[in-house]
Amino acid sequence: MDPMSARPSNLDPKIADRLKRDADGLVPAICQQYDTGEVLMLGWMDDEALHRTLTTGRCTYWSRSRQEYWVKGETSGHQQWVKSVALDCDADAILVKVDQVGAACHTGDRTCWDADVLDAVVGERPAEGS
């Protein structure tokens, strides 16, 4: 079954026609703190989740594990208040800038990248003229 026919949407067709979705009808949505640039989390949106995010001022995602919509902070109180929404150049990813209340990660961490930082060689940009 086509994933989009299973979950009808009120998303503006001008936006829906541009989206490049995965096989499940989803687009990754990167969530960023609007004033600091801190990357908070990555969630998944289908057309209806994007529509709800654009029209309610709250981030709505599609839960792949529960197969249902969820509004960030509805049960935890750790809400995301939308400040802007943009598609990337290929329309295969969404950037949502928010005002995050409390933790963004389901583990209770501020971001989903707080707990597992990997060792990596740090690169340096060459000096001008090199």
Q: How far apart are CA 85 and CA 15, in angstroms?
A: 12
**Rounded Cα distance, 3 and 32, in Å:** 27
Q: Is 59 part of any known ligand binding site?
A: no
31 annotated as belonging to a binding site for a ligand: no
Amino acid making up residue 84: S
Residue 17 annotated in ligand binding: no
Instruction: Say whether 88 counts as a known binding-site residue.
Output: yes
90 is in an annotated binding site: yes
Task: Return the ∠ at Cα 30 (arms to 29 and 33), rounded to 5°.
Answer: 135
Cβ atoms of residues 90 and 81 within 8 Å = no
Residue 92 in marked binding region:
yes
Residue positions in the annotated binding site?
A: 88-90, 92, 105, 112
Residue positions in the annotated binding site for Zn(2+)?
A: 89, 105, 112
Residue positions in the annotated binding site for Mg(2+)?
A: 88, 90, 92
